Amino acid sequence: MTIIGITGTLGSGKGTIVEYLVKEKGFTHFSVREFLLKEIKKRELPENRDSMVIVANDLRKNNSPSFIIDQLYEQSLTQSRNAIIESIRTPGEVESLKTKREFYLFAVDADPRIRYERIKLRNSETDQIDYNTFIANEKREMTATDPNKQNLKKCREMADFIFINDGNIEDLSLEVEKVLTQINEIL
């Protein structure tokens, strides 16, 4: 069983890679976003990006830097097929997963303007923001020194494979397929 974790900037294409792996390769999907939304609803907080960050940081602080990902990893073990865990945000999460068997971290990024246009089209409850807020949110999540807070830059540095997704879905799918071939050769 192979476990792939995916990290990346907002609107970079994490969901597109997940969708490809689920539909084309039979992976099971485990989502940090869905995990957090359940907790946000329990706490009766607004369903927005700020609540997601607050709840995630709180869970990590009160448990461990890898708490959320560890929960999703345990859920993935109940399946008998490959899994993808979306979205890795802290170095502690990466470190925990790297101690597990057959784990690979994918990082995905794209030009900020392209990513902003993508989130506007996606139009989810956490995407209702202007460009300046988009950039401010990203900056907040990029380089925290607290191990319980997001540090996307460090996660990217820890990635086994990096995708620059400035193109279309077909180009990204081809790149994912090349990486899967490399992984299969390693195994």
| 171, HSE (Cβ side, Cα atoms, 13 Å) | 8
For residues 35 and 106, what is the distance between their CA atoms, to the nearest angstrom?
Answer: 20
Q: Is the pLDDT of residue 186 over 80?
A: no
Q: Is the pLDDT of residue 19 over 80?
A: yes
Q: Per-residue pLDDT averaged across 134-146, rounded?
A: 85
Average pLDDT over all residues of the chain:
91
For residues 40 and 56, what is the distance between their CA atoms, to the nearest angstrom?
Answer: 10
Q: Which of 99, 102, 105, 114 is closest to 156 using CA atoms?
A: 105
Q: Are 90 and 150 in contact (CB under 8 A)?
A: yes
DSSP run (H or E) holding 132: helix 131-142
For residues 84 and 19, what is the distance between their CA atoms, to the nearest angstrom?
Answer: 10
Q: Tell how strand 161-164 and strand 103-109 pair up.
A: parallel
Q: Is the pLDDT of residue 40 over 90?
A: yes
Neighbour-count burial for 83-114, b at 16+ CB within 10 Å, e otherwise = bbbbbbbbbbbbebbeeeeebbbbbbbbebee
The residue among 12 and 144 whose pLDDT is bigger is 12
Distances (CA, A) of 60 to 11, 29, 148, 176: 24, 21, 5, 30
Distances (CA, A) of 15 to 86, 95, 96, 132: 8, 22, 22, 23
Please tell me the predicted confidence (pLDDT) of residue 45: 96
Please tell me the predicted confidence (pLDDT) of residue 42: 96
Q: Is the pLDDT of residue 150 over 90?
A: no
Q: Per-residue pLDDT averaged across 153-172, rounded?
A: 96
* DSSP 8-class letter at 126: T
Phi, psi of 82 (to 5 degrees): -60, 150
The residue among 121 and 127 whose pLDDT is bigger is 121
> What share of the chain in percent tops pLDDT 70?
97
Helix, strand, coil tally for the chain in percent (to 5) = 55, 15, 30
Please tell me the predicted confidence (pLDDT) of residue 127: 65
Q: Is the pLDDT of residue 140 over 90?
A: no
* Sequence-distant (≥ 6) Cβ neighbours of residue 73 within 8 angstroms: 3, 30, 85, 96, 97, 100
The residue among 12 and 128 whose pLDDT is bigger is 12
> What share of the chain in percent tops pLDDT 90?
70
Give the model confidence (pLDDT) of 65-123 as tens digits.
899 999 999 999 888 889 999 989 889 999 999 998 789 999 999 999 999 999 888 87
